[in-house]
Structure 1
Amino acid sequence: MDATMENKMGLPPPYEPTAPNPVPPPSYFGDNPPPPPGLVVPAVPPRTTVTGPSAPPCDRPVKMGPGPTGTTCPTCHKSIVTRVDFVPNTRTHIVSAALCVLAGCCCGCLVPYCMRSCKTANHYCPSCKAFIGTYQHS
């Protein structure tokens, strides 16, 4: 078959050889080049980990269970059983709105606000009143 016959038949043109793959960019994690002259980079002190009773409180809340849970308070370092407060969350509002739409009246929309399974359980220390963690039903 000649080239004119291929074009009439709607066939694609033959592939041409391509150049080899380009060189990959340098790694971002190793072999860092030195800083340009005149730029002063301050030395970073090494991180230290403090353990024991003098450790600062954790910034991230701890996952807890749905009821009062025994633990050690990160603020006052006492062995405690947490106090639980149940507060409405997004799930409570969505279930309430869905019941209101499906039932056609507003009486059913109050049910999720009475159910603990539709609320978030926030755990607090009974001694120092510090926030310990949270639990949401899945």
Structure 2
Amino acid sequence: MPIQTICPYCGNHIITVTTPVPGLLTWLLCSGLFVFGCFLGCCLLPFCIWSLMDVSHSCPVCQQEIFYYHKL
């Protein structure tokens, strides 16, 4: 969920831009599916589900990363 804040880098009042990034939870689910027999690409399914990924918040003006939310 984007948040309204003041960017510590450029000082502007902004609403952050969120970007899903594969994190530890995504990789653990992928490797777990692979081990349990999902060999034909099904193990890559966690990379398509945004709710399983970490979230990077960045400034739309200066493009600097402000916060990184880890799911796990």
**Same fold, judged at TM 0.5 (above):** yes
SS across alignment from 1:74: coil
* Residue in 1 that maps onto 2:18: 84
Q: CA RMSD in A?
A: 1.4
* Residue in 2 that maps onto 1:95: 29
Higher helix share: 2
Q: Percent identity?
A: 32
1:79 Cα deviation from its structure 2 partner = 0.8
In structure 2, the CA distance between the partners of 1:113 and 1:135, relative to structure 1 (3 Å rule), is same
Instruction: Tell me how far apart the structure 2 counterparts of residues 115 and 90 of structure 1 sit (CA, whole Å).
Output: 14
* Residue in 1 that maps onto 2:57: 123
Structure 1 unaligned regions, length at least 5: 1-66
Asked if the contact 2:54/2:69 (under 8 Å) is kept, the reply is yes
SS across alignment from 1:126: coil
Instruction: Give the TM-score normalised by structure 2.
Output: 0.85
Aligned residues: 72
Instruction: Give the TM-score normalised by structure 1.
Output: 0.48
In structure 2, the CA distance between the partners of 1:79 and 1:100, relative to structure 1 (3 Å rule), is same
Asked if the contact 2:25/2:71 (under 8 Å) is kept, the reply is no
1:6-38 deviation digits (Å, cap 9, x = unpaired): xxxxxxxxxxxxxxxxxxxxxxxxxxxxxxxxx
1:130 Cα deviation from its structure 2 partner = 1.1
Instruction: Tell me how far apart the structure 2 counterparts of residues 115 and 80 of structure 1 sit (CA, whole Å).
Output: 27
Give the residue type in structure 2 aligned to 1:123. Answer: H
Larger Rg: 1
Give the residue type in structure 1 aligned to 2:35. Answer: V
